[in-house]
Each structure stands twice: as C-alpha cells, then as structure tokens.
Amino acid sequence: MLMILSISMILILLSSAVMILTSILSKKSFSDREKNSPFECGFDPKSSARIPFSLHFFLIAVIFLIFDVEIALLLPILITMKITNMAQFLLIASFFIIILLVGLYHEWNQGALNWTF
C-alpha cells in the first residue's frame, strides 16, 4: 500500500512539474499588433480573417459522436449473450438502451436536434 501511494505521489509531482514547466516556457514575451494581424501584401485586411463558425453544427456533431460511441458499446453486448443467462442479458441490454433513449429524448426535448437557420 505504501509503495502504491509513493509511486502515485511521484507521478503527481512529476506531471505537475511538467505542466508548470510548459506553462512557463510557452509564454510569449511580447504581443505586437502587426504580427498578430493577417498578412495581405502589407495592407490592412478588408474583412475579418476569422471564418464564422456554426455552434449549432458543432453541437449536433458532438451529439452524433456521443451516440455513435454508445452504439459501438452496444456491439459487445451481443457477444456476452452467449456467456450470461438470458435474464441478465435482457436486464443489461434493456438498461443500456433505456439510457440511450432517455438521452435522445432529452436532446430532442431541449431542441438540440432541430436544424434552424
């Protein structure tokens, strides 16, 4: 127990030291307006260099990734059907699918799935 505690303390100290060192070394010494602006042949830019980003599209993509990972987690349940008895399998599978459906209902109810312009 003492060895696990000492190893975990060493790892925490080592990771903290690396994070502090990188934050110190990554600081910029000065900020210049000309160096931070986009370069267009020496002239001031006509418009903003930033492209507008659709936050709604990003949220839909994150929801898709979450449900995609959850569907990938459903596949091993089919393999466990051979190992466990049918009552345990149905309980676990139905519980997991209910969690998925409640999450989908919540996103639908919040209006996150409505694609509005």
Q: What share of the chain has pLDDT > 70, as a percent? A: 77
- For residue range 83-99, list pLDDT tens digits in order: 888 888 888 888 988 98
**pLDDT at 113 exceeding the cut of 90:** no
At 40, give phi and psi (nearest 5°): -130, 75
Instruction: State the Cα–Cα distance between residues 24 and 28, nearest whole angstrom.
Output: 9
Does pLDDT of 38 surpass 70?
A: no
Q: In whole angstroms, how far apart are CA 4 and each of 1, 10, 11, 18? A: 5, 10, 11, 21
Which residues contact residue 80 at a Cβ distance below 8 angstroms, ignoring those fewer than 6 apart? 89, 92
Cα–Cα distance between 69 and 93 in angstroms, integer? 15
